Amino acid sequence: MASIGKKLIKYNTFYHIYISVFVFILCVSLLFTRLFYPIEQIFMIPDFGVSDVLHQNLPFKSILSESLKLNQWPVWTPYLTNGFPILAEGQIGTFYLPNLIFFKFLPLVQAYNINLVLSYLLIFWGTFLFLREFGHEKIPSLFGAMIFTFSGFFSVHLNHFNLLQAASLMPWLFWSYLRLLKKPIYKNMVLSAFFASQQIFTGHFYIVLITYVGIALFWFCYLLNLKEKMFSVKNFKRVFLFLFSLFVSIMLSAVQMIPTIELWQNSNRAGGLDFTTVTSFPYPVKHLIGFLFPYFFGSPALGTYPVFSSDWGIFWENTAYLGWLPIIFSLIALFRLKNKKIRIGFGMLIVSLLLVLGKDSPLYFVFSFFPFNLFRVPSRYLLLMAFSITMISTSVLEKIWQRCLKLESKKIKIAPYFFILIVLTIIIGDEYRFTYKYPPVSPSSWWLSKPEILEDINIRNSKILSVAAPVIWNDIFLKKGWQNMEDYVFLKNTLFQNSNVFEHLSQTNIYTGGLIPRRFNVLSSLINDISFDKTIKIATLSAIAKNTINLAGVNYLTSPYKINDEQISEIKRLTKRSDSGEENIYLYKNLEAYPRYYLADKTIFVETLNDLTKTLTEPKDVTIKRAYVEEETLKYKEGEIANNLDTIAIVLSENLIKEFEVQTAKSRLFILTESHYPGWKAYLDGKITKIHYVNVAQMGILIPEGKHHLQVIFSSDSFETGKNITIISWLTVFAVSILYPCFYPDKASGKNRPGFYL
């Protein structure tokens, strides 16, 4: 009879699991099917002044998709800030396996949306595996996985594509490192290193840090609850394996890490961020009410949420709504602290909360030290808080589930089904409802079709500058939120960075919250020295901005504001009439733009940025092509070199290679109005020659008198070094994985392992 009872329980448990998984799949399908059917749509979520979907993630993935389809790596793009090392910046997510597969073989939007679906599936599956490995039964683990998957943290970050991808791997890392902690064998070490390398490849390094802070906390709390000495030999071995797996993951991801470190060293973040910047977008204690009432302070969708300030954060950075059920269960868990799993969960919860509070926390000082001072927005540790609450509430769910099974054994067969029905109803009616309703959905064609302002105009291979677009965007966002997405569609005609990528146009600016070379930032600040009059909608270019725009070779400007300048000629105007009045978007041609490549008629030596800004405030004769140099040996006057017979013939002008035939009567400086960065190399008549920094961030090459063949190539040494290390590391791991079980079968299988299970 006992064996029959066990079989019956197993039979019933199968249906319990089937029902739970079916409901989860149904919920995910409802959430994402609208992106694929009946028409192709995207979650285009507006932000302050921009949208991270339209102005960062889709453009970056467009560059990745085009490169992969051409069997190339996107080491450099000409479309952003006059040339940019986009692979090194990281957020393009080049080497993350799902990106490599989907963006290689599928159209852009399909690949983008499928990756979102995959991220949610990975969150669910990874959380389930972790909770099972942590010792929970299947049904509570399934419910815990559903709670974490439909957490508000993920839904409010649907516009942060690579953040979502990185966060989706966090449960897998917790699972693999728990396996390593319990069973310290080579296989588990490699498994941990693999998932860590994939998380690095997503390009969101802040989530990588948050994940490892969480795992370190988990390990500490876990080991603290074992019945053995904290500083035992066993624990030292565990910590060694933890650190070694981290080292292996860095070696496996060196192809990304080394170029990123090079970019970091050339950026303003090289020494870390200051305390004020690190703790920006704060999380006031009163925002904890958001765990129960996510719209307590207002809704960004309605335009009612307060604007961020030094004492106020952003809705999507301060929201990790989990629904009432996990919060209630966590409060109940306070009375069950004898449970080891609950103690571990609360240990993680307390520390993660202190990190979320940022500058208002007793742990505020940690944000002054490496690596915490590399990133902004401490409230992103809400991810760990949500995970900790999930762990705690799962423990309480398990106790209730076990009681239901006891009732079932007493012939109250309906008890488990009733429990499943109640829990699923609460999750769907509360947490999932928030997740489903939060992101606005709109047709992808609204955003990716050719802007009307470019119709019947051929400006391909030109450089553009978008002026004042975020001002109008922000007016809509702060007043109306995203109640009517069509309000934003008209603004796509401004080609605000980085949406210019879709039209293969080069933009002098870039939108990214990541790393930017400091020289690029300086040049961008000079270009954007523009004042706005919101009342009469007029933009005024300062002398500094005008001269720098000319130096940068900007051919066209777009703006919703009128630009009054004799040398900025209006060539097209779009008009839209709405309830608020008439709105215009203008396309201007810059009549004084320097050519993309030129021989400098005159060089001006500047030692400091102040020297440069002083000389840029003066009116310039645009018939004289100037170059601002930082080496006095490159200085020469106009009369010393002017010669009408000097010529430039463009032989080849592609993204990574450019060739010219240059003839000059005297030694002159050849200028490429494109960004200079480590990796660019110049060959004059087949011999390598120096590239000088000119005009802050552009390339200058000294050409001797006579006729010469010039070749300029981008070949990143950091990328090649990282690629070689990654290849060798993967081959080594693969070889050891095959050979290790042959020579050490007992160690490889873990037969001789000690028992460290909770």
Higher pLDDT, 449 or 21: 449
Taking residues 126-149, what's their average pLDDT?
A: 95
Which pLDDT belongs to residue 572? 94
198-218 confidence digits (pLDDT tens): 999 999 999 999 999 999 999
Which pLDDT belongs to residue 1? 41
Which pLDDT belongs to residue 587? 96
Helix and strand tally (H, E) in the chain?
28, 21
Which pLDDT belongs to residue 408? 66
Closest CA to 445 of 408, 389, 485, 406: 485
Closest CA to 62 of 2, 103, 116, 15: 103
Domain limits, the chain: 14-43+85-442, 450-590, 597-715
What type of residue is 748? A
540-580 confidence digits (pLDDT tens): 999 999 999 999 999 999 999 999 888 899 999 999 987 77
pTM score over 0.85: yes
For the stretch 368-388, what's the b/e string if a residue is b when 16 or more beta carbons lie within 10 angstroms of its beta carbon? eeeebbebbbbbbbbbbbbbb
Which pLDDT belongs to residue 744? 63
* DSSP per-residue string spanning 411-469: T-THHHHHHHHHHHHHIIIIIIHHHHHSS-EEEHHHHHSPPGGGTT---TT-EEEE-SH
In this structure, what are the phi and psi dihedrals at residue 43, rounded to the nearest 5 degrees?
-85, 85
CB 172 within 8 A of CB 131: no
Residue 432 confidence (pLDDT) above 70: yes
224-262 confidence digits (pLDDT tens): 888 777 778 888 888 899 999 999 999 999 999 999 999
Closest CA to 621 of 601, 640, 636, 642: 601
574-598 confidence digits (pLDDT tens): 999 877 778 999 999 999 999 999 9
What band does 423 get if pLDDT is binned at 50, 70 and 90? confident
Taking residues 637-665, what's their average pLDDT?
A: 85
Looking at every residue in the chain, the average pLDDT score rounds to 91
Which pLDDT belongs to residue 577? 86
**Spatial separation of the C-alpha atoms in residues 267 and 519, rounded to whole Å:** 8
Which pLDDT belongs to residue 606? 93
What band does 9 get if pLDDT is binned at 50, 70 and 90? very low
Residue 743 confidence (pLDDT) above 80: no
Q: At what angle do helices 233-252 and 186-202 cross, to 10 degrees?
A: 40
What band does 660 get if pLDDT is binned at 50, 70 and 90? very high
Residue 753 confidence (pLDDT) above 50: no
**Spatial separation of the C-alpha atoms in residues 737 and 733, rounded to whole Å:** 6
What band does 711 get if pLDDT is binned at 50, 70 and 90? very high
Residue 466 confidence (pLDDT) above 90: yes
Percentage of residues of the chain with pLDDT beyond 90: 78
Residues making up the chain, counted from first to last: 758
Residue 7 confidence (pLDDT) above 70: no
What band does 459 get if pLDDT is binned at 50, 70 and 90? confident
The set of residues, in sequence order, having a beta carbon less than 8 Å from that of 153 and lying 6+ positions away, is: 167, 319, 320, 321, 382, 383, 386
What type of residue is 559? S
Which pLDDT belongs to residue 5? 42
Residue 695 confidence (pLDDT) above 80: yes
